Amino acid sequence: MRREIPLAITIFVGFLLIFSVFFPPVEDLGENFSLFFDIIAVFAFFLGGGNLVRIHGKKLLKRKPDWAFSIVTLVGFFLMLAAGLFKIGNPGDISSNVTAEGSLFAIMYDNIFKPLGATMYALLAFFVASASYRAFRAKNREATILLSAAFVILLGSTPLGALLTSWMPDSLSILEIPNLAVWILSSPNLAGQRAIIIGIGLGVVSMSLRLILGVERSYLGDEGA
């Protein structure tokens, strides 16, 4: 029964949601089921928080390697939780907005969390450079084509690209670097993307059918089939 009941729910809800796409009288079901999921997800927050405290608490108590990081995690977790729950430093009473200006929660969010998040995001620029360096080495024919296309697009996005080929006559304007860059993005690139998108669509339908028909059951912790 541990497997059969979730499977029966999956099959019932799956077919119901397929019908909701084609039969207008039940079209609102999709939205309603999303709401059910959101309600369940709220309770799962406790699950996540509990797991975090348990894992790091255990690490701390048993003095496992890097246990000092767990202190930072737990202090940050409980401090933020207390600031939000008890509205520490809020200008108004307990009914005021948790993110009100001047509250400890807002101060920590704006001055600690946001700069740290922005720092992580900013690393992307450096990683893009290092990944591009590795990807754009002309090791074989495919890599050389990739390198050439990337070079044209990079150059086409700069004023230099327009300047280099601005002398071309109107009849050859397609060969101007900015136009060439636009053509690469809007023709071969878009065609490739659409092919992948069609494949993804079919994959989603196939995967969904496997789930709805009960062929694929590993998400239930069952090897399936």
Partner 1 sequence: MRYRPILLFLLILLCFTTALGQEPTDETEGPPDTVVVDSSLLPAPVTNLQARDTEDDNGHSVTLTWDVSTDDGSGRDDVYMYMIYRSMSPEGPFDSVGVAMKGATEHVNSSSKDRAQPDFMPDHTDYYYQVGAVTVGGLITRSDVAGPVQSYGQFFNMGRIPVFVFVVVFCALVVFFVASARKGADLYVRPLAGIEAVDDAIGRATEMGRPILYVLGLGTAEMVATIASFTILGRVAKRVAEYQTKLIVPCYESIVMAVAQEVVKSAYADAGRPDDYDEDSVFFVTSLQFAYVAAVNGIMLRELPATNVYMGKFFAESLLLAETGSIAGSIQIAGTDEIAQIPFFIVACDYTLIGEELYAASAYLGREPILLGSLKAQDLAKAAVVIIALAGLIATTFGWPGFAEALHVEN
User: Which residue ranges make up the site for partner 1 (CB under 8 A)?
Assistant: 18, 21-25, 27-28, 34, 37, 40-41, 44-49, 51-52, 55, 58, 65-66, 69, 113, 116-117, 120-121, 123-124, 127-128, 130-132, 134-135, 193, 196-200, 202-211, 213, 215-216, 218-225
Which burial class, exposed, middle or buried, applies to 17 when counting CB atoms under 10 A from its CB (0-12, 13-18, 19+)?
middle
**Minimum distance from residue 104 beta carbon to partner 1 (Å):** 18
CB nearer to partner 1: give 94 or 191: 191
Computed from CA positions of residues 192, 197, 202, 204, in that sequence, does the dihedral angle turn out positive or negative? positive
CB nearer to partner 1: give 175 or 213: 213
CB nearer to partner 1: give 130 or 171: 130
**Minimum distance from residue 69 beta carbon to partner 1 (Å):** 8
Are 87 and 98 a contacting pair, CB within 8 Å? yes
CB nearer to partner 1: give 17 or 168: 17
CB nearer to partner 1: give 104 or 220: 220
**Minimum distance from residue 92 beta carbon to partner 1 (Å):** 26
**Minimum distance from residue 113 beta carbon to partner 1 (Å):** 8
**Minimum distance from residue 179 beta carbon to partner 1 (Å):** 23
Closest CA to 149 of 171, 116, 182, 104: 182
DSSP-assigned states of every residue in 153-198 = HHHHTSHHHHHHTTTS-GGGGGGSHHHHHHHHIIIIIHHHHHHHHH
Residues 159 and 137: their CA atoms lie apart, in Å, by 25
3-state helix, strand, coil in the chain (%, to 5): 75, 0, 25
